[in-house]
Amino acid sequence: MSETASGQGGGRADVELRLPADGAYVSVLRTTTAGLAARLDFTIDDIEDLRIAVGEASAMVLPEAADDSALDCHFHLSPGELTISVSVTTSRQVEADFDSFAWQVLSTLASSAEVDQADGRFTVRLFMRSSAAGAGL
């Protein structure tokens, strides 16, 4: 995975979304993700996998959100690739549960996934490459 594709060195996100840190708004994130993936010509199956994966990423970060936190989402787009970072502000050190159902689903559906805690933020980042891109379509 390239530095830009992983969202690590790509600079500012192509699309940023800030929502209340409340599970009621996860559907907005899922819909936004689907729309962006469709613009990148992801297959219908890939789009559904992404919708599920961002829902699981949200399920991991939302319980860790500080009272005044927002759910921040950053999307880095490139042809046939999408990197999504979902994060919240935390008031304590968070230990990611890599045995959780959410992580198992997320890491299975995404091409790759990682968690990070730095500067008072807990982040789940996932990278997805379109299966159509690998098929030469």
Q: Which neighbouring-strand residues pair with 19?
A: 71
Question: Average of pLDDT values for 60-84?
Answer: 96
- Domain-located, residue 2: no
What's this model's pTM, rounded to 2 decimal places?
A: 0.86
For 74-114, what is each residue's pLDDT tens digit?
Answer: 999 999 999 999 999 999 999 889 999 999 999 999 999 99
* Dist. CA 136–CA 13, nearest whole Å: 27
Question: Exposed, middle or buried by CB within 10 Å (0-12, 13-18, 19+), for 13?
Answer: middle
- Domain-located, residue 8: no
Q: What CATH number corresponds to the domain at position 29? A: 3.30.565.10
Asked whether the predicted pLDDT for residue 3 surpasses 90, the reply is: no
Total domains in the fold of the chain: 1
Residues 64 and 90 sit within 8 Å (Cβ to Cβ): yes
Q: Which neighbouring-strand residues pair with 118?
A: 121
